[in-house]
Amino acid sequence: MPVRNYKPTSAGRRGMSVSGFDEITTSEPHKPLLVKKNRTNGRNNNGRITMRRRGGGHKRHVRTVDFRRNKFDIPARVETIEYDPNRSARVALVCYLDGERRYILHAAGVEVGDMLVAGNKVDVRPGNAMPLANMPLGTQVHNVELAPGGGGKIARSAGASVQLMAKEGVFALLRLRSGEVRRVRIDCMATVGQVGNLDHENVKIGKAGRSRWKGRRPKVRGVAMNPVDHPMGGGEGKTSGGRHPVSPWGQPSKGYRTRHNPRTDGLIVSRRKK
């Protein structure tokens, strides 16, 4: 999965690189698992923009990915490894012995023809899923649930994984990629291994037009606006804002913590920022 660079035939090509698609085995998705994706362009049900800098981009279909892995003790064969435009990771189409097909996240090292299984007592090999209670300490896992049966929520992007550090009663301690150590119930499901497409972080977009293909619109700096539009706007000549960076509504936008979830504060053992 190397990153592919192009000859600098233009200014955009000079700084551009794309992900290698060596592991992709088909360009045709499994149609029964496709869902039409309705665009909102960052607008709510009243038509007002509630999330700025979104709109346009290439049309996409959602691949229905099985994050729960709740089909226990039925082996599944990997049929294809496919590109998914909605995520940085690849998806693998697996066919269970009873004939059902599902998409799962492609784990690094999993190839077409491999047999994967989810259950309480399965082999510790990439792509297999089991509860954290049955995994040996030190195992690298991804697609980890936060609540039993709720589907994987942690470590789902390309190259992501977390490490099982310890087991304490009904909780398991996980070290996240950020350095945070967090408690998760020991009966939550997780998939062994690391998410594939490890070189995704090395891809360079190269030009503004490629961001538009992804549905990202331009970002206007606050200091370039008028005072009526932004707290950092206005001034005679070019200014640096005159205050710490804030959003258009006055909330600090660099280093200011906005997390407020007392219900799960006790589950965080060690913060990523000391």
Q: Tell which of 201, 217, 238 closes a domain.
A: 201
Per-residue pLDDT, averaged over 136-147, amounts to 96
How does pLDDT run across 206-256, given as a tens digit for each residue?
A: 999 999 999 999 999 999 999 999 999 999 999 998 999 999 999 999 999
191-202 pLDDT per residue, tens = 999 999 999 999
213 belongs to a structural domain:
no
Return the pLDDT at 274: 65
Residue 1 pLDDT greater than 70, yes or no = no
For 251, left (φ over 0), alpha (ψ -120 to 50), or beta?
Answer: beta
CATH value at residue 116: 2.40.50.140
> In terms of domains, do 59 and 23 share one?
yes
- Percent residues over pLDDT 90 in the chain: 92
pLDDT band at 272 (very low <50, low <70, confident <90, very high): confident
Tell me whether residue 110 is in a domain.
Answer: yes
**pLDDT digit string, tens, across residues 71-126:** 999 999 999 999 999 999 999 999 999 999 999 999 999 999 999 999 999 999 99
Distance of alpha carbon 89 from alpha carbon 200, whole angstroms: 8
Q: What is the 3-state secondary structure (H, E, C) of the chain?
A: CCEEECCCCCHHHHCCEEECCCCCCCCCCCHHHEEECCCCCCECCCCCECCCCECCCCCCEEECECCCCCCECCCEEEEEEECCCCCCCCEEEEEECCCCEEEEECECCCCCCCEECECCCCCCCCCCEEEHHHCCCCCEEECEECCCCCCEEECCCCCCCEEEEEEECCEEEEECCCCCEEEEECCCEEEECCECCHHHHHCCCCCHHHHHHCCECCCCCHHHCCCCCCCCCCCCCCCCCCCCCECCCCCECCCCCCCCCHHHHCCEEECCCC
Specify the CATH number for the domain of residue 238: 4.10.950.10
Report if residue 220 sits inside a domain.
no
Tell me how many domains the chain contains. 2
Residues 32 and 161 in one domain: yes
pLDDT at position 162 is: 97
pLDDT on residue 15:
87
**113 and 41 co-located in one domain:** yes
pTM value is 0.91
* Residues 168, 232 within the same domain: no
Output the CA torsion sign for 152, 154, 159, 164: negative
- What is the span of the domain harbouring residue 174? 3-201
State whether 149 and 76 are in the same domain.
Answer: yes
Does residue 116 lie within any of the structural domains? Answer: yes
What single letter denotes the amino acid at residue 36?
K
Amino acid found at 21: F
pLDDT score recorded for residue 273: 74
Q: What are the pLDDT digits (tens) for 21-64?
A: 999 999 999 999 999 989 899 999 999 999 999 999 999 999 99
Q: Are residues 235 and 186 in the same domain?
A: no
Tokens of 139: 């195992």
pLDDT of residue 86: 95
Q: Does one domain contain both 145 and 261? A: no
Q: Alpha carbon of 14 to those of 2, 170, 208: distances in Å?
A: 18, 53, 13
